[in-house]
Amino acid sequence: MKFLDQVKIYVKAGNGGHGSPSFRREKFIEYGGPDGGDGGKGGTIFLRSERNLNTLIDYRFQQHHKAGRGVNGSGQNRTGHSGEDLFLKVPIGTQVFEEDNKTLIYDFKKEGEEFIVANGGKGGLGNTRFKSSTNRAPKKFTKGAPGEEYVIWLQLKTIADVGIVGLPNAGKSSLLASITNAMPKIANYKFTTLNPNLGVASYDDKEITLADIPGLVEGAHEGIGLGIQFLKHIERCKTLMHLIDITDEDLENTYKQVRNELGSYSKDLLEKKEIIVLNKTDLLEEEEVKEILKNFSKNRDSEVVTLSTLDKGSISKIKAKLLSYVS
């Protein structure tokens, strides 16, 4: 399934049915009088959040959505059926914007939330409604009101407990594959990850949701590389896991580069809890790893740990550590 986090769609609620101008025409009834029924209400369009969705790809090829029209009223005071409502499913974390793509209308943060995006038109009144002591045979009736129609934008901001950030090829996808059931593409070249990947890690009968964000190269907040497209997906993460390749020549510069991109996009990202993970420790000798960890951890506010995705014990420790951060 392809990942799509922004889409523009058109929604049109159903028009209301027209009222009926009918009169009774029955044998042996001399003064039949009006018996026109009301029109049915037009269908309403709802947006509903679903947990089992993580992309807006369903709206890539179907961008026009219309609810059912109300049925016209008829004789014998019969009211027309209401139009069928339309429910559009969206992932949790979807934001609804007006046509300008700037004015926020609604934000889905929980499963099962519903939002009326377009109300159906009211049904028209039949001529029976206008009968009075002075007007015994009214021919007046009203037409159904048109349903609301809008052009809206849907934007998805992934909701996860932990957002995994770092430079390209730091091992983010390998980590996600090691501690969750996710199967991201893994290869030894930059920008292997082209879309955010979600995974769920289980530990101590509890679950942690992790989001693997494509690599943040220098200038990502200005549109360089792929980062600018996906930085919004870590805005709602409770904790950031900053993954660094321990074999990099300048770990301090690598760390600051990613932090600068996060801060340039939004200062709020720098306020989130952070755990720094020095990855690929299996490529170095144990003593060398200890020395690097000692030097890099000096005068640092965030906790620094080491990781080898080939070591099951190391993976379990990371799971336990993450659970303590998000609980």
What's the rounded mean pLDDT across residues 51-71?
Answer: 91
Can you tell me the distance from the alpha carbon of 60 to that of 78, in angstroms, rounded to the nearest whole number?
A: 41
Co-location of 75 and 124 in the same domain = yes
Token code pair at residue 23: 């009169």
| Listed residues 108, 134, 156: the one ending a domain | 156
Co-location of 255 and 309 in the same domain = yes
Co-location of 115 and 240 in the same domain = no
The angle at the Cα of 44, spanning 41 to 50, to the nearest 5 degrees, equals 150
Co-location of 195 and 322 in the same domain = yes
Q: Which residues are documented as binding site? A: 166-173, 191-195, 212-215, 279-282, 308-310
pTM: predicted TM-score of the whole model, two decimal places: 0.74
Q: Which residues are documented as binding site for Mg(2+)? A: 173, 193
At a CB cut-off of 8 Å and minimum separation 6, what does 131 contact? 33, 34, 138
Least confident of 98-107, 185-194, 307-316: 185-194
Co-location of 231 and 262 in the same domain = yes
What's the rounded mean pLDDT across residues 297-304?
Answer: 85
Does residue 31 lie in a domain region? yes
Least confident of 119-133, 174-188, 203-217: 174-188
Can you tell me the distance from the alpha carbon of 94 to that of 106, in angstroms, rounded to the nearest whole number?
A: 8
Predicted confidence (pLDDT) at residue 189 exceeds the cutoff of 50 = no
Predicted confidence (pLDDT) at residue 14 exceeds the cutoff of 90 = yes
Residue 9: predicted pLDDT: 96
Co-location of 134 and 225 in the same domain = no
95-126: pLDDT as tens digits: 999 999 999 999 998 999 999 999 999 999 99
Residue 302: predicted pLDDT: 86
Does residue 1 lie in a domain region? no
What's the rounded mean pLDDT across residues 233-240?
Answer: 83
Beta bridge partners of 8: 153
Can you tell me the distance from the alpha carbon of 87 to that of 321, in angstroms, rounded to the nearest whole number?
A: 40
pLDDT band for position 326 (cuts 50, 70, 90): confident
Co-location of 111 and 190 in the same domain = no
Residue 145: predicted pLDDT: 97
Does residue 50 lie in a domain region? yes
- The count of other CB atoms within 10 Å of the CB of residue 270 is 13
User: Which structural domain, as residue segments, surrounds residue 64?
Assistant: 6-156
pLDDT band for position 228 (cuts 50, 70, 90): low
Can you tell me the distance from the alpha carbon of 80 to that of 17, in angstroms, rounded to the nearest whole number?
A: 7
Residue 149: predicted pLDDT: 97
Report the CATH number at residue 258: 3.40.50.300
Most confident of 99-108, 161-170, 207-216: 99-108
- The beta-carbon contacts of 259-266 under 8 Å, at least 24 apart in sequence, are 260/218, 261/216, 261/217, 261/218, 261/219, 261/220, 261/221, 261/227, 261/231, 262/165, 262/216, 262/231, 264/221, 264/222, 265/220, 265/221, 265/228, 265/231, 266/231, 266/235
| Listed residues 108, 124, 156: the one ending a domain | 156
Does residue 213 lie in a domain region? yes
Gyration radius of the chain over CA positions: 29
Q: Which residues are documented as binding site for GTP? A: 166-173, 191-195, 212-215, 279-282, 308-310
Residue 75: predicted pLDDT: 92
Percent of the chain past pLDDT 90, that is, above it, reads: 36
Which one is predicted more confidently, 111 or 171?
111
What's the rounded mean pLDDT across residues 32-51?
Answer: 94
Report the CATH number at residue 58: 2.70.210.12
Can you tell me the distance from the alpha carbon of 208 to that of 157, in angstroms, rounded to the nearest whole number?
A: 17
Does residue 21 lie in a domain region? yes
- The count of other CB atoms within 10 Å of the CB of residue 83 is 27
Co-location of 199 and 213 in the same domain = yes
Across the beta sheet with 94-97, the strand order is 64-66, 6-12, 149-156, 94-97, 104-107
Co-location of 181 and 291 in the same domain = yes
Q: What is the mean pLDDT of the chain?
A: 85
Predicted confidence (pLDDT) at residue 233 exceeds the cutoff of 90 = no
Can you tell me the distance from the alpha carbon of 147 to that of 68, in angstroms, rounded to the nearest whole number?
A: 10
65-75: pLDDT as tens digits: 999 999 999 99
Co-location of 61 and 138 in the same domain = yes
Co-location of 243 and 308 in the same domain = yes
Co-location of 33 and 88 in the same domain = yes
Predicted confidence (pLDDT) at residue 195 exceeds the cutoff of 70 = no
Question: How many folded domains does the chain comprise?
Answer: 2
Residue 144: predicted pLDDT: 96
Residue 263: predicted pLDDT: 85
| Listed residues 102, 134, 156: the one ending a domain | 156
Predicted confidence (pLDDT) at residue 212 exceeds the cutoff of 60 = yes
Which one is predicted more confidently, 96 or 234?
96
